[in-house]
Amino acid sequence: MSGHEFESWFPDSGGIDYEDTATAITDATVEEMRQIAARYPQPRSALLPMLHLVQSVEGRISPAGVRACAEVLGITTAQVSGVATFYTMYRRRPGGRHHVGVCTTALCAVMGGDHLLDRVCDKLGIHEGETTADGTFSIERIECNAACDFAPVMMVNWEFFDNMTPAKADELLDALAAGTAVKSPRGATLTSWREAERVLAGFPDGRADEGPTAGEASTLGLRVAREKGWRAPDAPPPVPTPTDEASDNQGGAA
C-alpha cells in the first residue's frame, strides 16, 4: 500500500474556505503588500509572495486575504483564487504553529518516509492534512524537497531535518511540544510556520547567519577530493579555511 488512498469525491475543492471570515489583515498588511508589489516591474508578479504574507498574518489563505491581494493588484478575486489553489504551500485551513512535512516521494518513502509519516501521525493523533486540536502541529505529506542525500527527510516550518528516524522524529516533536528551542541541522532555530511564511514573502527575519555552511553529505565529494589531493585543473590550490569573522555569531539564535 502506498499510503495515498485513492480519492475520487471532492466536495470541498474549488476554492478557499469562505465560511470563516475572520481576518487579522490590517492597513499595515496592505501597505506591506504594496511594498512587495513595488519590487517587480509589473505588480502582479508579487502575487505569490503576497499570498505568503497573507498566510503569515492569517495562518491560511483567507477570504479577506484574497480580496486584499485582488485590490492591491487590480485583478479579480477569481484570479487570486486560481493561483492560491494551484500551489501546495497555500493552506485553505489554518495550519499548526509548527507545520511538519514528511517526504514520501519514492526515494524517501522507500528509505523510511512512509513509516515516518505513520509514526508522526500516530504520535500526534491526527491524519495528514490535519492540525492538532491545540493548534501546535499540522502534518503534510510532501513531495521531494531536494535533500535526497539526507533521506529520509522531514521539514518543520520548511527547515530541513535530515536523516530522520522514528526516534529522532519523536524527539523533535517532543521538543517542539515542550516549547524547547530546536535547531534545524541545516538551518536556523525554529520559529513558527507563520514566521517562516513572512520570510518567504520577502521580509527577512535576521536568521540567515544561523546554522552551518553545509551538511555532511553536501561536502562529501569535497572532503574525498581533499583526501585524495584531487582538484580542478589550473585552479589555485585550496586556500586555508578562513577563520576570522567566523564563530562569534555561529548558530546564534535570537
Residues in the chain: 254
Q: Does 25 bind another protein (CB under 8 A)?
A: no
| Per-residue DSSP letter, 189 | B
How would DSSP label each residue in 47-77?
HHHHHHHHHHHHSS--HHHHHHHHHHHT--H
**Which residues inside 116-145 make contact with another protein, applying CB under 8 A?**
118, 142-145
Closest separation in Å from C-beta 253 to another protein: 13
Sign of CA dihedral 68, 74, 193, 129: positive
CB neighbours of 95 closer than 8 A, spacing ≥ 6? 55, 59, 60, 131, 138, 193
Q: Which is nearer to another protein, 7 or 134 (CB)?
A: 7
Closest separation in Å from C-beta 36 to another protein: 10
Residue type, 20: D
Task: Please tell me the count of residues contacting another protein according to CB under 8 A.
Answer: 121
| Per-residue DSSP letter, 35 | H
CB neighbours of 53 closer than 8 A, spacing ≥ 6? 29, 32, 33, 36, 197, 198, 201, 203
User: In this chain, which of 86, 179, 181, 254 binds another protein, going by CB under 8 A?
Assistant: 86
User: In this chain, which of 82, 125, 135, 252 binds another protein, going by CB under 8 A?
Assistant: 82
Taking residues 182 to 221 in sequence order and writing x for each that binds another protein by CB under 8 A, - otherwise, the string is: --x-xxx-------x--xxxx-xx-xxx-x-xxxxxxxxx
Distance CA 34, CA 72 (A): 7
Q: Which is nearer to another protein, 30 or 111 (CB)?
A: 111
Taking residues 46 to 75 in sequence order and writing x for each that binds another protein by CB under 8 A, - otherwise, the string is: xxxx-xx----------x--xx-----x-x
User: In this chain, which of 60, 98, 115, 194 binds another protein, going by CB under 8 A?
Assistant: 115
H-helix or E-strand spanning residue 159 = strand 159-161
User: In this chain, which of 56, 131, 157, 192 binds another protein, going by CB under 8 A?
Assistant: 157
Closest separation in Å from C-beta 133 to another protein: 25
Write b or e for each residue in 39-52: b if 16 or more Cβ atoms lie within 10 A of its Cβ, otherwise e. Answer: eeeebbebbbbbbb
Residue type, 109: A
Q: Does 20 bind another protein (CB under 8 A)?
A: no
User: In this chain, which of 68, 100, 120, 147 binds another protein, going by CB under 8 A?
Assistant: 147
User: In this chain, which of 30, 111, 121, 126 binds another protein, going by CB under 8 A?
Assistant: 111
User: In this chain, which of 25, 57, 68, 83 binds another protein, going by CB under 8 A?
Assistant: 83
User: In this chain, which of 25, 68, 80, 124 binds another protein, going by CB under 8 A?
Assistant: 80
